Homo-oligomer: A and B are copies of this chain.
């Protein structure tokens, strides 16, 4: 929080801009920018926004929100923790301990034959990456349908209407990774 200045300066130098140049783009005086970098003052939100855009980064990044420390590396062998299951036979396993500092939620989803997840993990925000580990899974994202086989991946918005069902005779499995974490 009190190191926004450092981060801005670092990013600015990374982009090979001097105070005048960046200040010009942002729309404040070089002196003002200097004071911000030296932590003599905080930028207003509108200036922070402009600084972030001109340094091709996000406000959260400059605010240091991505520097939180995750706890010790957690290794989970095949003993995963079941977090959710529905009647049709879809099981969702956690692939890392829930932690307030985690950026990502990581799950393994195992479908019994002819099972699916419709309203599971719904009402979430951020973005989702899925990777099919085995079998064949049919995704419906908004209106479109995607048929994914082992080794395929898909990336979509968490806010989308989404549905995934097993499309194979046996068990199908996929990784489900979501960022930022919804805990």
A177: contacting residue among B75, B77, B129, B156, CB under 8 A? B129
Asked if A28 is an interface residue, CB under 8 A from chain B, the answer is no
Stretch at the interface among A17-25, A84-92, A96-104: A96-104
Give the docked Cα–Cα distance between A118 and B61 (Å): 26
Q: Are B152 and A75 in contact, with the CB atoms below 8 A?
A: yes
A-side interface residues toward B, CB under 8 Å? 1, 4, 42-46, 48-49, 56, 58-61, 63, 65-67, 69-70, 73-78, 95-96, 100, 102-104, 106, 125-127, 129, 131, 133, 139, 141, 144, 146, 148-149, 151-157, 159-160, 175, 177, 179-180
- 21 A/B residue pairs, CB under 8 Å, sorted by A: A1-B46, A42-B45, A44-B45, A45-B45, A45-B48, A58-B65, A58-B180, A59-B60, A59-B65, A60-B65, A60-B180, A66-B125, A66-B126, A70-B155, A70-B156, A75-B148, A77-B149, A95-B153, A129-B177, A177-B177, A179-B180
